[in-house]
Structure 1
Amino acid sequence: MTLLTIFIGGGLGAVSRYLAGSWVNRLMGPEFPWGTLLVNVAGSFIIGFFLTWMEHRLPVFPYWRPLIAIGFLGGFTTFSSFSWETVVLLRNGDYLLAALNTGGSVLLCLTGVILGIWLARPAGG
């Protein structure tokens, strides 16, 4: 049952990534991988929030973590696309954009996790 839960979450996450990333890239243009940045930052925030919320508030349901944290967010976020898009920027000579993508992704994703944790913690916790 756990594998099926991960499978379903992963499929939903991958489709969500495609839709969100495509929409953002159409709005912002192809010069920078905005779609990948958005889904990775959003996924980082969600995992920080969800796992903290689950730890403090949700009743224990054995399939929440595999469904959301492993399946959905594993399909939604994408380190491989981030890596590929950064290499493409480097290959095209866009060194500043590659550096901004690398530094910005790490900084914003970590900030997203921390903000998610902070917002999900119970008051006084």
Structure 2
Amino acid sequence: MTSKATNVATRFPHAAKYFAESWVCPCCGQGDELNADVTLNYGTEVFEKVSCPKCFGEWKNEYRLHAIRHNETGDVVLNPSQPLAALQALAAASWLDEAPYDSDELTAAKRQARDAMAMAVRAS
């Protein structure tokens, strides 16, 4: 692990839990109410300043537009510049289909990719 990766892991030891349950502080792991401050919009990106009243940690949540969804029909148009487009290309070429000769790790990775695509286009 590089020293930069080590520093990030040290600063955000609860990042995985934060991604799963966004109300948990990625710095201290406490479930206290987090404070969202200024939201800055830059084209297809949004940055939200967030802080924790318990540990006084501060960070920015970053959001990127990956799709637009029609309100009435639920039709989705994906942003082709996102990694999701790469997964869709692999799926279209049947590269994400399970095969009897796949290792357990590859089978799990293919399943994860298919699940990620399904969640990305699921109606909200």
TM over 0.5: no
Where relative contact order (Cα < 8 A, 6+ residues apart) is larger, the structure is 1
Tell me which interval the TM-score lies in, with the shorter structure as reference length.
Answer: under 0.3
More helix by share: 1
User: Which has the greater radius of gyration?
Assistant: 2
Return the TM-score normalized by structure 2. 0.25
More strand by share: 2
Return the TM-score normalized by structure 1. 0.25
